[in-house]
Amino acid sequence: MKKNAWKFGIASVGAILVLAGCKPTQSSANYTYNTSLSSSPSTWNVHNWQTSDESYINSFTEIGLYDCILNETKNGYTFVPEMAADMPVSVDPGDITDEEIERYYAGSGNVVTGMVWDIPLNKNAKWEDGVAIKASDYVDSMELQLNSEYANFRADSYFTGNFILANAENYYKQGRSTIESLYKYLDESIGDVKNSTGVYYLNIGKGSAYTQAISSSADTTLYTLLNQLPASGSAAKLAADRIITAYSYYLWKSSDHTTSKNYTSWLNVNDKNDPTQVGQTLIEGDNVDMDIEIFNNGFKNAAGETDYVKTIKSNKESWSDSNSERYTRDMFEADMKTFVASVDRVAPASKSWAWKLPLFTAVFTYEGDPLSKDDLGIKAIDDYTLRIYLAKSITPLNLRFSLTGNWLVNVDLYRKLTVTLASGAKATTYATSKVENYRSYGPYKLTYFEAGKQFEIKRNDQWYGYSDGKHEGQFQMDEIVTKIYSDHTTALQEFMAGRLDDIDLTVSDVRTYGASSRCQTTYESYTQKISFNSDYAKLKQLQGGKENKTILSNKNFRKGLSLSLNRTEFASQATSGSKGFTGLLNDLYLANNATGESYRATAQGKSVYGMVYGHLGGNTIDEENGAALAESQVGYNRALAIEYVTQGMKEELQSTRDGHLAAGNTISIEFRVYDDASENTIAAYNYINRTWTAIIQSAVQKLKDQRVFGANDDIGFQLSMAKDMDYYTTAKNGGYNIIFSIWGGAAVNPYGLMQVYCDNTFESCCEYGFKGHQAETMLGIDANGDGTIDTTSEVKSFDAWYRAVDSGDEYNEAKYGDEVATTDPNYEAWYETHNKKLNVLAGLEAGILNRFEAVPLAARGTSSLLGFKVENATNTYVSLVGYGGIRFMKFNFTNTAWSDYCKQNNNNLSTLYQN
């Protein structure tokens, strides 16, 4: 027994040691690339991907019809056919049959070159299980991509931008409707909206295209317009009051307000039993669309009884039974006519149907004949030829760009994994949760997936590229093992132990490893900016007590804050790889897609800095003759910053507006951020807080010296950080002071990015004070470059400039071709248009920057360390293709050799990586 006890003890310890010594199963692969992500993708369905993590797996397992790869000289990019057998062939419009025109172009007959393309498909392309991929797979996949029942997130990729598939938008939107301002969609020839359902809504609590046309502000509600008519006892005033009261009555009676956040206010109305007490706050707060048929048909009140809308008979008396009457649709229509006529500031106000202008209507997003899959602008000509019908002409270069992404899915599996949700909508679990739910067709295939932990991607033996002779020397790695490390420190240690082959660096890591020969920066097309809320009214609402926020509406103040930021210092202290930057479009944006010329490298791109900082180099304010601020200063001039902040504060102190800055106030700015615990965010906040506190203290002292306010008074400053994971939505509604807004777009289309700043209808514009005013704010741009601004043709609103440069014919350089050589007869015309377009782009960029509502800080980049095990094709970052990617990555070590190398270094390579 004694012996047994000892044996048992020894055996137990031995077993533990043996197990501890066990290594994970060694892969038979020679070249394994080990990498990590911080979280696992919930889906990698190409129809639905949203975040970069969600497109990670299919970047290995799928490939486009064409691919943009590093060129032979490794300093640019070139296109190669992949899933396509050859380059796309433009179909002569004359060869398009009447049946095709009827089907895809609704009988318009307006088919021009560049709208119909034939794409020969690669006959060797197969799914990972060896089944051939044919043209019908592309057609069926596109149908699923655009099927309205699935409502796939990426559907709009095929009906917005350059690549617009015929009938795609209508196919996707058929059967859907939204409520829109009637005025916005008005067709004057019919006095209505073309696709109207005939249901009209009254909503006096929100702004509309109509209220904007009258007041020039998208925020002005119909209530404000109705309420601001002079109280002269006029018929118009009575009509307006009757509309307000009727709407208020409906709001008051139609729902139970006991659960409302405005319950106490509603209680007041209930107590007084008077709909005229409802007031602006409740009307604009509840913001309800009321079907105007309710005026005739009545509605179910909160008690479930049928009730009818009532309103006042006269506005000379208060609400009472004797001064109220049932309000019918006819009465409403008559009152609306009176009101609309009284504010006759929009063109059709005199028309008989003009009473509908302030209303909303349910608009069918598509109300034509039902479309079938066959109507989609994609057709299989034969098994290996795909014909694409586009709604808009596209150049060969842009087409190849567009087709670097793919929409191909394994249709049978996709359908098999489709579930019908309780709502009736369909969703598929294709490309989610397990290997069996997915089919690869790229150079690699997914072989293992454990959500939240690890996935493995191995060489796909069925891929044509390994045997077609066109990919020799490419895709050397056999296997990619990706582990999920939510904790960065662990991931970094794994990298230093040689178990990961790359690692993104944080701000503090950059201090240690920034000088490493293995450190590389991957630039992104994003610019990190501070976006200010400059809307005085909104800021006033957000401030309370002794706080002041309205000062953010002062341009000089914002300008001063901008000049105070040393962007180079900011980038080094608060970012891991970004570089200080003052523009909206960084080096990655291309001015010429054919040559790869960067917009920033053009004369126009370079001129922007001068247009903004041309007179900001001195130490006193001189807007006309001030010296230029050196480009090396990257928008930083501390002395002038103090001057502008002082000037801004002085203007606000002397303002007579309600809610202006006063002595004794604290300028309290709330900085809304996505993650207030992130190392980079904290570093950024600390830098900005430190800088602005110092600047404002200096400005306050100056103001004291100038006796703008008493020596015993003071003005404080406080910058607080608030976590708001939905801060873009908050910004959309103006409920913020400042945020980091980080916008970027397709590097091949810098003009498109201007939408986020200049498009009057763009909902997510982050500069709230400017949002909705782009169509009325004028900007002069020397578009033709003759040195003067022609007030008739070169002064337009921001919105008009954007639309002209983005889609207008005047600046459409593509009509001359996209790879125009100097010998080409079109070259001069192309060159002139090209330059004009760049002039407008530079003018728009400078125009936005000069408002100092969007203050750029850094061009986004991420520093990372690349392991000794592998080598990129180039050390110079190339737009669109980075350092060459996995296609050209070479291995310095096999798995075994690397393991030995790490052992020789005690599995700790940190010292080596510092050099």
Partner 1 sequence: MKSALKMELTNQNLQETPNPESPNPRNTFRRVVDFCKKGIIRVGKAIGHFFTRKDVKSTLAYIGKRLILMVFTFLVIFFICFVLVRLLPISVDTGMKDQEVFYKQMVAQGRYVQNADGSYSPMPIMQQLGNFIVNLFSGGSNPWGFSYHIEWLASPDQIMARQLPPTVLINVYSMIISIPLGLGLGTFMALKKNKWEDHVLNVLVMLFISVPSFIYAFLLQYLFGYVWNVLRPTAESANAVGGYFSGAYFASIILPILSMTFGSIAGYARYTRAELTEVLTSDFMLLARTKGLTRAQATVRHAFRNSMVPIFPMILGEVISVLSGSMIIENIFQVNGVGGLYLQSIQTRDFDVFQYVSMFYILIGLVGTLVVDISYGLVDPRIRMGSKK
Query: Looking at 13-21, 128-136, 231-239, 332-340, which segment touches partner 1 (CB under 8 A)?
Result: 13-21
Work out how close the CB of 728 gets to partner 1 at its nearest, in angstroms, rounded to a whole number: 9
Q: Is residue 490 at the binding interface for partner 1, with CB under 8 A as the rule? A: yes
Decide if residue 493 touches partner 1 (CB under 8 A): yes
Q: Is 427 in the site for partner 1 (CB under 8 A)?
A: yes
55 binds partner 1 (CB under 8 A): no
Amino acid at 507: V
- In the bound state with partner 1, the residue whose beta carbon lies nearer, of 677 and 711, is 677
Over its C-alpha atoms, the chain yields an Rg (Å, rounded) of 32
CB of 327 to partner 1, least distance (A): 18
* Cβ closest to partner 1, residue 422 vs residue 711: 422
Pick between residue 2 and residue 707 the one whose CB is nearest to partner 1: 2
Closest CA to 256 of 289, 306, 303: 303
The span from the CA of 593 to the CA of 602, in Å, is 13
Q: How far apart are CA 206 and CA 108, in angstroms?
A: 39
- 627 binding partner 1? (CB under 8 A): no
CB of 196 to partner 1, least distance (A): 14
Closer CB to partner 1, 22 or 303, in the complex: 22
| Ranges within 103-162 binding partner 1 (CB under 8 A) | 151-153
Q: Which is nearer to partner 1, 97 or 906 (CB)?
A: 906
Q: Which amino acid is at 319?
A: W
Closest C-alpha among 590, 552, 595 to residue 838: 590
Please say which residue, 451 or 515, places its beta carbon nearer to partner 1: 451
Neighbour-count burial of 915, counting CB atoms closer than 10 A to its CB (0-12 exposed, 13-18 middle, 19+ buried): exposed
Pick the closer one to partner 1 by CB: 205 or 580: 205
907 binds partner 1 (CB under 8 A): yes
743 binds partner 1 (CB under 8 A): no
DSSP letter string, 346-376: SGGGGSTTGGGTT-EEEEES--SSPP-GGGS
SS3 708: coil
Q: Which residues, numbered 299-328, are part of the site for partner 1 (CB under 8 A)?
A: 299
- List of residues 6+ apart from 649 with CB closer than 8 A: 551, 554, 557, 661, 696, 699, 700, 703, 708, 715
Q: Which of 14, 95, 129, 176 binds partner 1 (CB under 8 A)?
A: 176
| Binding of partner 1 by 8 (CB under 8 A) | yes
- What secondary structure, in 3-state letters, does 615-647 show? CCCCCCCCCCCCCCCCHHHCCCCHHHHHHHHHH
CA dist., res. 661 & res. 588, Å (int): 42
| Largest pairwise CA distance in the chain | 112
Q: How many residues bind partner 1 (CB under 8 A)?
A: 68
Q: Residue 401, class by beta-carbon neighbours within 10 Å (0-12 exposed, 13-18 middle, 19+ buried)? A: buried
Residue 512 engages partner 1 in binding (rule: CB under 8 A) = no
Of 16-24, 113-121, 218-226, 530-538: span binding partner 1 (CB under 8 A)? 16-24
| Residue of the chain from 28, 97, 232, 423 that contacts partner 1 (CB under 8 A) | 423
Neighbours of 807 (CB within 10 A): 12
Contact status: 21 vs partner 1 (CB under 8 A): yes
By CB under 8 A, name the one of 433, 749, 862, 894 that touches partner 1.
Answer: 433
- The residue (of 155 and 591) whose beta carbon lies closer to partner 1 is 155
Options 118, 192, 289, 832; binder of partner 1; rule CB under 8 A = 289
Question: Which residues fall within 8 angstroms of residue 565, CB to CB, at 6 or more apart?
Answer: 635, 636, 688, 691, 855, 857
> What SS3 class is residue 891?
strand
Q: Which of 307, 333, 494, 832 binds partner 1 (CB under 8 A)?
A: 494
From 118, 192, 291, 651, residue interacting with partner 1 (rule: CB under 8 A): 291
Q: Measured from the CB of residue 100, what is the shortest distance to partner 1 in angstroms?
A: 31
Residues within window 391-420 making contact with partner 1, judged by CB under 8 A:
419
Work out how close the CB of 180 gets to partner 1 at its nearest, in angstroms, rounded to a whole number: 12
Q: Rule CB under 8 A: say whether 570 interacts with partner 1.
A: no
Beta bridge pairs of residue 132 = 126
For residue 456, the minimal CB distance to partner 1 (Å) is: 7
Copy the structure tokens of residue 66: 């064409």
Closest to 140 (Cα-Cα) out of 312, 442, 318, 379: 379
Those residues with Cβ within 8 angstroms of residue 242's Cβ, 6 or more apart along the chain or in another chain: 311, 312, 315, 327, 331, 335
3-state secondary structure of 759: coil
Please give the residue ranges that form the binding site for partner 1 (CB under 8 A): 1-2, 5, 8-9, 16, 18-25, 39-40, 42-43, 45, 48, 50, 151-153, 176-177, 179, 201, 259, 288-291, 299, 362, 419, 421-425, 427, 429, 432-433, 448, 450-454, 456, 483-487, 490, 493-494, 496-497, 725-726, 729, 906-908
